[in-house]
Structure formats: C-alpha cells, structure tokens
Amino acid sequence: MFYGFDRYYFILVVPALIIAGWAQMKVSTTFSTYSRMPVGNRMTGADAARFILDMNGLTNVRVERIAGKLTDNYNPTDRVVRLSDSVYGSATIAAVGVAAHECGHAVQHATGYAPLKLRTAIIPATQIGSTLAVPMIFLGILMSSDPLVNIGILLFSLMTVFQLVTLPVEFNASARAVATLSGHGMVNAEEERGVKKVLSAAALTYVAALLVSAMQLLRLVLIAGRRNDR
C-alpha cells in the first residue's frame, strides 16, 4: 500500500506531477523561443557571464562550457559558472538571461546571501532524507513504531524545506540578472521582456518542485495518521 498507488497518491501527488510536467514543458518551449532571438550587442552567454562576474569583482570565478540542455549551474565549491552548449556560445536573449542568472548565484555566494547559505547547509540532511525517509516510515508502520514513523516524516519534511528555501535563492538570482542586464545596457527594453519570460518559466519549475514535495509529504502524513484510526 505504501509504495503503491493509494488514493492520496491520485488525489494529491498526481495533480502536482502534472503541473510539474507542464512547467518543464513551458521552460523548454520558452527557452527555445528566445534561443532563436539574437541580442543587439552580440554578446554570447559566456561574454555576458565574464562581464557580470568581473564587474562584481569575481575575476576568480571561471566560466566553463557544460554538455546538455538547461544544465547551466553555478558550483560554489569549484567557484565555476557552467553554461550549457546553447548558452555558452550563443548571443541570444535566452543565453544572456540564463548566463546572468547563474552569475546571480555566484554573487549570492560571494556576498553571503543568507537563503543560499541555509540551502547549502541543509543539503547533507536532505541527502539522508531522500534515501532513508520513506523506508523508515514504511518500517515504522510495519513495526507499529511511532518514533520511527515520526523521524521518517521529519526527514522527509527536510526535503520540502529544501525546496522552499530554493525559491528565494532562485527568484533573487533572476532579479539580480534582470537588474544587471538592463542596468548596464546589456539588453534593451524589448530584450529585457524576453529575459524575464525565460527566467519566470524557469522559476515556475522550482515552484512546481515545491508543490510536488509538499503533496508527497502531506500524503505520507495522512497515511501515517490513518494507521492510528484502525
């Protein structure tokens, strides 16, 4: 009953998964659309990233190319902004938007932005949670052990907290990106609207991920609660 498809799964988790799938499609199509629109100043994603990093005094943060689609990221351990093939060498609205967003994370890291620190701090706990939470709850129900069930739910809720803390980090990186690009004349007003659309679509996937996690948590709480009614 636990790993299977109980009614809570259909009522709570399935709708959230559908929304998440729609958000993924939306980011993919929006990115494709603005990947075909060149920016007036001919700056590639890599050029834009280098410019923004240097402007913020982050000359020691490297910009590298990474394989894949929408695999762009900032790695705080290596201090590298990694840009995917269609961002790194492309002078498009989508490319400079994504590049500026990843630089936003580098600036957050350099300035000690609190939500990013919190997010980084809870990563080890969420890794434990993602492997142990569900088996613990399952075992706890089998053994009628309330502490085991409760610890399992607590571990799972850490993953939901992680998704929640991700939101300010992502929204803030995008806000920094738009402010920098338009504030330094790297995009014009029309291009700025495109950048906002690309970054809003990306932000939507993080909201959807939070929704999926919250619904999974609610499902586990309801399943755990139901066993006491028997």
In the set 64, 102, 191, 192, the catalytic residue is 102
> Shortest gap between Cβ of 212 and Zn ion (angstroms)?
18
Mark 187-226 as b/e (b = at least 16 C-beta within 10 Å): beeebbebbbbbbebbbbbbbbbbbbbbbbbbbbbebbee
> Shortest gap between Cβ of 207 and Zn ion (angstroms)?
13
User: Residue 85: CB partners within 8 Å, gap ≥ 6?
Assistant: 65, 66, 67, 68, 69
Strand partners, 75: 80
For Zn ion, the closer of residues 70 and 151 by Cβ is 70
For Zn ion, the closer of residues 47 and 170 by Cβ is 170
Torsion angle (degrees, nearest 10) of CA 221, 226, 227, 230: 170
Indicate the SS3 state at residue 74.
strand
Residue 191 designated active-site: no
For Zn ion, the closer of residues 65 and 227 by Cβ is 65
> Shortest gap between Cβ of 172 and Zn ion (angstroms)?
9
What residues make contact with Zn ion under the rule CB under 5 A? 170, 173
For Zn ion, the closer of residues 9 and 171 by Cβ is 171
Instruction: Give the H/E segment covering residue 83.
Output: strand 80-84
Instruction: Give the H/E segment covering residue 80.
Output: strand 80-84
Query: Which positions are annotated as active-site residues?
Result: 102
